[in-house]
Structure formats: C-alpha cells, structure tokens
Amino acid sequence: MSGPTRLHELTALEQAAAVRKGEVGVVELVRHHLARVEQFDERYGAFVTRTPEAALSEAAALQDRLHGSALCGVPTAVKDLVDTAGVPTTYGSKAFADHVPTVDAHSVTRMRAAGTISLGKTNTPEFGCCCYTDNDLVGPARNPWDPELSAGGSSGGAAVAVALGLVPVAHASDGGGSIRIPASVCGLFGIKPSRGRVSSGPAGAEVTGLSVQGPLSRTVRDAAALLDVLAGPEPGDPHGAAPLPDGETFLGHADRSPGRLRIGRYATPAAEGLTVDPACLAAWEHASRLLEELGHVVEDMPTPFGPEITEHFVTAWSVQSLGHPLDAGREALLRPVTRAWREYGRGVSGEQFAAAVTGMQRAARRAIVATRPYDVVLTPTLATLPRAVEYFDESGDPLVNLHRQSAFSAFTSPYNMTGQPAVGLPLYWTEGDHLPVGVSLVGRPADEATLIALSAQLEEAAPWRDRYARLPVS
C-alpha cells in the first residue's frame, strides 16, 4: 500500500481493502481526503457544501462496525441536485440556499448503508440545466487539467472531486450528458445507467424520463462497485430496468471477458449545423482501432437519430426546468439561462409537451431498432474540446449561451431519450497529454454488464490511471 500521504492515489476498492485489512483507519482515510478538499476546493470549485464534522463522526462510528461491503469506509460525495437529510441541498441555486431536506434520496440511503462516507455536496449548475457547472453560490467548477477551462456539467463538481483525488468515486446524475460530458473533459470513467436502474425517489420527479443517477470514477471497477450500491428498484418507481441474474454483480462483470463483439460507430451528430472537432474525431478513431486490435468487429453505421429530436428535447427540457415551483421573489434570484429555460417552458402548451414526449419515444424506438444488430455503439462524447469558463458567461443573450452548449450534448442527449446505458472512457489525450478527450460506448437496453466488461478490457489494454499523478496541481 502507498504511504499515508498518497492514500488518495488508491482506487476506492483499494481503499476499502486497506480498511478491511487494518492498514488504514476510516478516520485517517477521511481526514486525508478532507485535507485535500481544503487544499484544492477553493481553486477548483468541487463542492457547494462541505460536511467535515459529519464525515468524521460517521467515520468514527463506522470504524467499530465495519462490514463486508466492497466500498465500506470509502470517502465519497453526493451531487447537490439530490436530497441529503440534514444537509443543505441547494440544487445549485440561490433560491434554495436555505433548503435543508428532512429525508434522504434513496441513492443517499443506499450509499450510507454500503459504508461510504460523504464529504459534502458537489457543485452543479442551477437545477442541473446546463452542460457546464457554474452558479451564484460558489462559482464555477474548473477543469483539473487546466483551471482556465470549464469542468463540464452538470456533474462538474463530482468530476473535479474525483479527478483531483478529493474522493475516489462520486455520485453523479445525467439528464442530457451530465455524467459523460464532465467525464470526457476531466479524463474520467462514468456510467449513465439505464432508465429505471437507479431510483430517483422518494422526491425525484420523472416528468420526461431523461435523468438518471450513476457513478463517476477513475477506474471501471470503482464505478461498477458504486453502481452495485445504487442500483435497484424502490416502491413506486415509474420505471424499472431488468435486474442482473441472481448472484451476479456489475463489479463481477468488470472481471469478465466481453467476448467478441459487433460494434457500430458513427460520428455525425443528429443536430444540424455542428462540426465535430478534429481532436474528438481522433479520439473516436483511436478507440475504433483499439477495439479492432482487441478482436472486436467495428462497422460504420448511419446516425440513428434525425434532426427533429433537437426540438423534442428542448421542449421537454424546458418543461422539466419548471420542476421547482417558486414565488416571484425567489424566481428573481435565478440565473439568466435558468430563467430563459423556465420562461420557454411556461409557453409550452400541454399539446406541445405531449407531442415532444411522444416524438422522443418514437425516435427512441427507431434508434433502438436501428442499433439492434450491434452489441455496442461507439460515438465521440463531445463535438468540441473543453471551453474557457468565460465562454458560458450568462450576462448576454441566453440564446447565444444555449447555442454554445449544443456541441457538448449533441452525442449524449439522444441516449437519455432512449434510456439506454452509456459510458464515457478516457482513452485519448491531446498532444503532450494536455487535455483528455473522451469517447462514449452505448449498450443495448438494460445491458450495463456488457459495457462494463468491454470498458474494463479497454482499461487493461490502454490504462489511464497513472495519468492522474501528472495533474498540474501542487
């Protein structure tokens, strides 16, 4: 095991193993990570709320009742869109700065039962509306590879926390790419689970079925272990994903061969007028070659979505942004882009909303049929490289801001419509190892298992773990 000053370089599973063996105490492990939060959070904007006292108290109590969970004793963090009882949960908004839930989200309950210890609530844009992370509470989440750049969103704070070793694995969520986008720009592995795999209850809404919760990590096995914790139905859930066979786990699939797979690939966005950055295409080609070297069959395929999905998504997203009712005084506290989304949503008629949801469902069915011949589909994650924090400034026309976001979600949001599982992998860096550029793999409905097995194979063939030791931070 590494010395105590390098505990953060261990994976989540390695940290849990060290705790079980008595090589490190839970309190020591939590103190180490809290010290890193203190060192880096102010500059990089990982957290909205830190909970060091609660974390140390939980660590001390857990030390005397360790159990066999794969992640017992591991520090983590919860995205600030998800309720945590007794802890401020702001949804990234000044309008909810004083909001303290009395009930945990089911995902938080599951993480606590597994013995993970939250160090606080991670940074998110207001209501998770944007593909960058910035708000009026703590400011932007900055890219660990270059702090002048955005960390992506909406799970940008979670990505920063993991990439900098503030926690080894973190809770995140994804409504249009919010796990895969920050995974790409921060060089992480992330899983957007199938619709219904992780419960959003008891307070989470399912107005559109777009949003899901999942893990961000530095390794495939860590993400699989956290997905095992998060996954499972709860009473009243409106959606459900077919469970794994009895006795199987997602972590177990990370240790299995995926076999020889047929993989379709495309790199043309459904949205019209977008040009894919050459570096994003290079990452996609690099992944294609690696998959072929591993014995898989990689075939070009047409983009399985049409341009009409953009209007459907925008209409549904605008209505979903109204999920937090506010009086006029609190509405005035919202940021310009959030207000623009909500103003648009208020103008959507019931007929238009029903047409948008129906349109998404029809497009999803067509896409699932079109991709059925393939075990997995490969795409770029983004159509652009990370942008400067100021690129998403909200002081001007909100429509300009929204247009700038389109290159970040063009490949990701369609699979929120279909509900298929998707992962983001850090297989490629720009020249000189300067910036990570992710690619995405999409699985068949409810088939996270194949994605995890294939991702683990790719990680073994082209490991990325050691790159984090070279992050340009002191």
Sole residue written with tokens 């703590």: 138
Q: Would the pTM count as exceeding 0.75?
A: yes
121 an active-site residue? no
178 an active-site residue? yes
For residues 124 and 93, is the Cβ–Cβ distance under 8 A? no
Domain positions in the chain are: 4-470
DSSP codes joined into one string, 394-462: SSS-HHHHHHHHHHHHTTTTHHHHH---EEEEEEEE-GGG-SEEEEEEEESTT-HHHHHHHHHHHHHHS
> What pLDDT score was predicted for residue 466?
84
> What pLDDT score was predicted for residue 199?
97
Q: In what order do the strands lie in the sheet with 297-300?
A: 169-174, 212-217, 189-192, 422-429, 436-443, 376-380, 262-265, 297-300
154 an active-site residue? yes
> What pLDDT score was predicted for residue 4?
40
Which residue out of 155, 178, 194, 199 is catalytically annotated? 178
For residues 190 and 223, is the Cβ–Cβ distance under 8 A? yes
Which residue out of 118, 154, 211, 406 is catalytically annotated? 154
> What pLDDT score was predicted for residue 388?
97
Q: In what order do the strands lie in the sheet with 75-79?
A: 47-50, 117-122, 75-79
Cα dihedral sign for 57, 59, 60, 65?
positive
Q: In the CATH hierarchy, which top-level class contains the domain 4-470?
A: alpha beta
For residues 48 and 122, is the Cβ–Cβ distance under 8 A? yes
Euclidean distance between CA atoms 437 and 420, whole angstroms:
22
For residues 195 and 241, is the Cβ–Cβ distance under 8 A? yes
Euclidean distance between CA atoms 251 and 223, whole angstroms:
8
Block means of pLDDT (10 residues each) for the chain, length 474 residues?
68 97 98 97 98 98 94 98 98 98 98 98 98 98 97 98 98 98 98 98 89 98 98 95 96 98 98 95 98 98 97 96 96 97 97 98 98 98 97 92 93 98 98 90 98 98 85 63
CA 447 remoteness from chain centre: 18
Euclidean distance between CA atoms 296 and 258, whole angstroms:
10
